[in-house]
């Protein structure tokens, strides 16, 4: 398949890895931002094929993992109400809340449905006018345009029984937070190609300059990732710190302006609480006041939520690149994909799930 197979050619990937081996002179710590990158790196064994001087640490770019516990509990509270059809992407159903998850709500008779697009949720609202239909609008810049579009569609079609529980987060403020931490070990970033397809990469230029850190935008195939690491190592070895686009077949500097205008029409920036990490200023989006009637938090008045996180879960440290999954005492013992204690073991983009799935136990 064009644009996929040629980026999986083993000889090409080996050639790039050999180039990395030739130029690396010292130890470097590189963070891949996105959980999709983490899974691809482990799936294709790139983490094991790199020279030992290159350490990959895993970033916070897994939307399911960073959705705050408070919002998960709010989702569960809303989904438990008798007149509600609660729609969500599938991964969210098994994410542990303080007491239970959305699957348990469904098992107890709640109407929790998996959808593949927020527009499916709008259609469900249209077909069930006697019900309140709520969509769990989670995600990074990648999901924001479609999530925002669902609200625009609902308004255009006069659908009053549709609302969204918003948990939109953004990558650049999280990079600022990671780089500002006194414990930060990250010396270079692999930025996520799909986020940059929407937003472009102009937002990363001041980050590279301010923190003197190379940032390379990559795709998700093994050759994309190997080339991204090579370009990052080249910059580190040359003591340069700029933004490079190693995914030009999808990413431009300015991104998808139509998608950005849809985001800006519906959302405005806000502080967001990231699960396990805490509040990062201006790191997310919320509905603008003119769209408040579609705000599920307002519609259902879910405010006084008391959260209770698992005391053993260290996913917040993993998402900041400070720990690896096997360093968690629960990894693979009392925490498994079948019995997850934290969101990073649930999500198809979670680092703990990747280590478990691909047998990285140490
Ligand atoms: S292994 Fe489980 S408990 Fe440990 S950090 Fe990962 S999700 Fe949390």
Q: Tell me the per-residue pLDDT of 49-72, one tens digit each, with 9 for 90 and over.
A: 999 999 999 999 999 999 999 999
Work out the average pLDDT over 149-156: 98
Closest ligand 1 atom to the C-alpha of 332? 1
- Write out 61-126 in H/E/C secondary structure: ECHHHHECHHHHHHHHHHHCCCCEEEEECHHHHHCCCCCCCHHHHHHCCCEEEECCCHHHHHHHHH
User: 213 is written with which tokens?
Assistant: 């850190």
Q: Which amino acid residue places its CA nearest to atom 8 of ligand 1? A: 313
Instruction: Please state the domain extents for the chain.
Output: 5-42+178-245, 65-170+255-300, 315-357
Mean pLDDT taken over the chain: 95
Looking at CATH, the fold of the domain delimited by 65-170+255-300 is given as Rossmann fold (3.40.50)
Work out the average pLDDT over 76-101: 95
Closest ligand 1 atom to the C-alpha of 343? 7
DSSP type of residue 3? T
Q: Which amino acid residue places its CA nearest to atom 3 of ligand 1? A: 313
pLDDT of 35 above 90: yes
Please tell me the distance from the alpha carbon of residue 113 to that of residue 110, in angstroms, as a whole number: 9
DSSP type of residue 174? H
Buried b (16+ CB within 10 A) or exposed e, 63-93: bbbbbbbbbbbbbbbbbbeeebbbbbbebbb
Asked whether this chain's domains 5-42+178-245 and 65-170+255-300 adopt the same fold, the reply is: yes
Q: Return the half-sphere exposure (C-beta side, CA atoms, 13 A cut-off) of residue 119.
A: 8
Residue 339 Cα to ligand 1 midpoint, Å, equals: 10
**Edge-to-edge order in the sheet of strand 188-192:** 54-61, 28-34, 188-192, 215-218, 243-245
Residue 95 Cα to ligand 1 midpoint, Å, equals: 12
pLDDT at residue number 30: 98
Residue 241 Cα to ligand 1 midpoint, Å, equals: 33
Closest ligand 1 atom to the C-alpha of 352? 6
Confidence of residue 302 (pLDDT cuts 50, 70, 90): confident
pLDDT at residue number 216: 98
Q: Which CATH number fits domain 5-42+178-245: 3.90.1200.10, 3.40.50.11750, 3.90.180.10, 3.40.640.10?
A: 3.40.50.11750
Confidence of residue 1 (pLDDT cuts 50, 70, 90): low
Q: Tell me the per-residue pLDDT of 319-352, one tens digit each, with 9 for 90 and over.
A: 999 999 999 999 999 999 999 999 999 988 899 9
pLDDT at residue number 305: 82
User: 99 is written with which tokens?
Assistant: 């007491």
Pocket of ligand 1 (CB under 6 A): 312-315, 318, 325, 328, 330-331, 335, 340-342, 344-345, 352
């Amino acid at each position: 398949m064009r644009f996929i197979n040629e980026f999986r050619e083993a000889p090409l990937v080996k050639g790039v890895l050999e180039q990395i081996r030739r130029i690396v002179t010292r130890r470097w710590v590189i963070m891949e931002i996105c959980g999709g990158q983490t899974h691809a790196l482990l799936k294709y064994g790139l983490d094991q094929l790199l020279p030992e001087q290159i350490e990959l640490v895993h970033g916070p770019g897994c939307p399911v993992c960073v959705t705050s516990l408070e919002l998960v509990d709010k989702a569960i509270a809303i989904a438990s109400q008798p007149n509600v059809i609660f729609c969500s992407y599938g991964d969210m159903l098994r994410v542990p809340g303080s007491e239970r998850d959305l699957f348990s709500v469904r098992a107890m008779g709640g109407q929790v449905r998996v959808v593949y697009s927020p527009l499916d949720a709008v259609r469900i609202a249209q077909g069930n006018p006697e019900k309140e239909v709520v969509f769990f609008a989670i995600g990074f810049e990648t999901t924001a345009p479609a999530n925002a579009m669902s609200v625009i569609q609902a308004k255009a079609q006069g659908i009053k029984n549709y609302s969204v529980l918003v948990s939109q987060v953004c990558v650049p403020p999280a990079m600022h937070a990671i780089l500002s931490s006194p414990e930060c070990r990250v010396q270079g970033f692999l930025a996520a190609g799909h986020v940059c397809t929407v937003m472009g990469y102009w937002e990363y230029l001041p980050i590279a300059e301010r923190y003197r850190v190379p940032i390379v935008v990559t795709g998700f195939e093994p050759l994309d990732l190997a080339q991204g690491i090579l370009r990052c190592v080249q910059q580190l070895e040359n003591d340069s710190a700029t933004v490079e686009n190693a995914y030009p077949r999808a990413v431009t500097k300015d991104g998808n302006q139509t998608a950005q205008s849809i985001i800006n029409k519906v959302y405005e920036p806000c502080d967001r609480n990231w699960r396990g990490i805490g509040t990062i200023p201006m790191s997310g989006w919320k509905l603008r006041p003119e769209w408040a009637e579609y705000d599920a938090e307002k519609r259902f008045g879910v405010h006084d939520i008391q959260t209770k996180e698992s005391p053993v879960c260290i996913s917040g440290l993993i998402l900041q690149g400070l720990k690896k999954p096997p360093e968690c005492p629960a990894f693979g013992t009392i925490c498994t994909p079948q019995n997850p204690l934290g969101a990073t073991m649930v999500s198809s983009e979670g680092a703990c799930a990747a280590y478990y799935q691909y047998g990285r136990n140490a």
